[in-house]
Homo-oligomer: A and B are copies of this chain.
Amino acid sequence: MNAKSTYHLSCPIPKTEYEHILMAHGGGGKLTRQLIEKMFYSGLGNPILEKGHDGAFLPSIKGEIAFTTDSFVVDPVFFPGGDIGDLAVNGTVNDLLCCGAEPLYISLAFILEEGLLMENLWKIVCSIKKAADAAGVKIVTGDTKVVERGKGDGIYINTTGIGRILPEQNISPENSCEGDVVIINGHIGNHGIAIMSARKGLKLNTHVKSDTQSLSGMMMDLFNKVPGIHVLRDPTRGGLASSLNEIAQSSKSGITLYESSLPINEGVRGACEIMGFDPLYIANEGKMVVILPQESAQKALAIMRSHKEGTESRIIGKVTSSHPGILQMETTIGTHRIVDMISGEQLPRIC
C-alpha cells in the first residue's frame, strides 16, 4: 500500500498529510472541501462544476431528454485495458447513445473506502477526465462519501448522464421487426475475460484487454447519416445473449444469430473453454448492437467501419416473425438452438 515515487509528482494532495482516504474526507468539513478542490476540481474542473453549488446549472436543452444512471463496482478497479474511472464514464455515455441521444452532461458520485490510496484515486480521476473528453461530455456535479475499512472495496462510482434525444431517430427495444438485421461493431466477450484474468487467484494468460470505450464518435455519425434505426443496445452485464433476449421479449419478435458470423477472438474463446463459459453471456463495454431495416444495413456498416470503434462491424443476425420472443442460434453445422437469458451469476462485479 506504499505510494510509488510518481505519486509526489502527479498527485496534488500533499503526501505527508493524506496519503490515504480518511473517514474525515467524507465528513463535509475541511478535508472534504480540500479533496474536492485539490483533487476533483484540479482533475475535472470546468466552470459549471466549479460553481460549488448544491447542483449544476445547465443551459436549456432543446427537445426530449435522455436520463440514465449506473453504479460501478468492478473488481478489480484496475484491469487490462482500463479502470473503474473510464468504465464509469463510457458505460453511461453508451447508455445515452442507446437512447438515440447526444451525450451532454454527467454527474459523478464516489463511495470511497477508508484507506484508499490517494495515488489510486488520482489515477482514476485522470481516467475519468480522459474518457469524458473523448466522449465530448462534461462532468458537472458530484458527491463524495467515505465508508469504513471493510465496508466497501476501495471505490464504487455512480455516473448519471443527461443527453439530448435526436428527433430524427426513434429508438426503442420494442421497435425491432421482421426483416431487420442485427449488427455489432466488433468482438464480443473481451471486457468480461479481461476482468476475470485480472482477478487474484485466476492465472489466465489471455492478454485480452477490456474493450471499454465510448462509442460517441461512431454513433453520432451513424445518427446523422442513417435515419430509421430501430433498436440500439450495449451488451454489458449478461452479454449479447441477455441483451438480445430482452429485445426479443420487448418487441415480441424472434431473433436469429448466425454462429459463423459471431466475432470472438482467440483469447476470449480459449479462456471461455478453460472456464466453461459461453462468450454470448460475457460482458462487453465498448460494443453496440444496432438493429435496423435490411435496406439500411450496408450504409450503416460502411459508416461504422470508418470509425476506429467499428472497424470490425458486421451483421450477426436477423429479426424474424417465426419464433416470437425467442433468441435462436443458427449453428455452424446448420442446426438451431434456443439461447436463453442467463439464470445464475457467471461473472460477478464485472462493471
Residues on A close to B: CB < 8 A? 22-24, 26-33, 51-73, 95-96, 98-99, 101, 105, 107-111, 140-143, 145-148, 150-153, 156, 158, 160-163, 165, 172-173, 232-234, 236-239, 242, 246, 250, 281, 283, 341-349, 351
Nearest CB of B to A51, in Å: 7
Contacts A/B (CB < 8 Å), 28 sampled = A22-B345, A23-B348, A26-B348, A27-B238, A27-B342, A27-B348, A28-B242, A29-B344, A52-B173, A52-B246, A54-B96, A55-B66, A55-B68, A58-B64, A58-B67, A60-B61, A67-B140, A68-B107, A69-B160, A71-B110, A71-B143, A71-B145, A143-B158, A147-B153, A148-B348, A151-B152, A151-B153, A160-B160
Q: Which of B65, B141, B152, B236 contacts A60 (CB 8 A)?
A: B65
Contact B68 A101 (CB under 8 A): no
If A96-B55, A162-B67, A342-B29 touch, whether A348 touches B73 (CB-CB below 8 Å) is no
Contact B342 A71 (CB under 8 A): no
Integer count of this chain's copies in the complex: 2
Residue ID in chain B nearest A171 by CB atoms: B53
Given A68-B141, A141-B68, residue A237 in contact with residue B63 (CB < 8 A): no
Q: In angstroms, how far is the closest chain B Cβ from the Cβ of A56?
A: 5
By beta carbon, the residue of chain B nearest A25 is B345
In the A-B complex, the 4 residue pairs with the closest CB atoms: A28-B237, A55-B68, A28-B238, A29-B342
What is the bound-complex CA distance between A198 and B349, given in angstroms? 31
Please determine whether B99 and A345 come into contact, CB atoms closer than 8 angstroms.
no
Check A105–B24 contact: CB distance below 8 A.
no
CB <8 Å contact, B99 and A54: yes
In the bound complex, residues from chain B placing their C-beta under 8 Å from that of A140 are 67
Whole-angstrom CA separation of A100 from B273 in the bound complex: 57
In-complex Cβ contact of A55 among B99, B109, B142 (8 A): B99
Q: How far is A267 from B31 in the complex, measured between Cα atoms in Å?
A: 29
A156 partner residues in chain B, CB cutoff 8 A:
111, 147, 156
Residues in B whose Cβ lies below 8 Å from that of A233:
54
Query: What residues of chain B lie closer than 8 Å to A107, measured between beta carbons?
Result: 67-69, 160
Residues of chain B with a CB closer than 8 A to A61's CB: 60-61, 65
In the complex, the answer to whether A109 meets B69 with C-beta atoms within 8 Å is: yes
Is there an interface contact between B67 and A33, defined as CB atoms closer than 8 Å?
no
Could you tell me if B343 and A30 are in contact, using CB atoms closer than 8 angstroms? Answer: yes
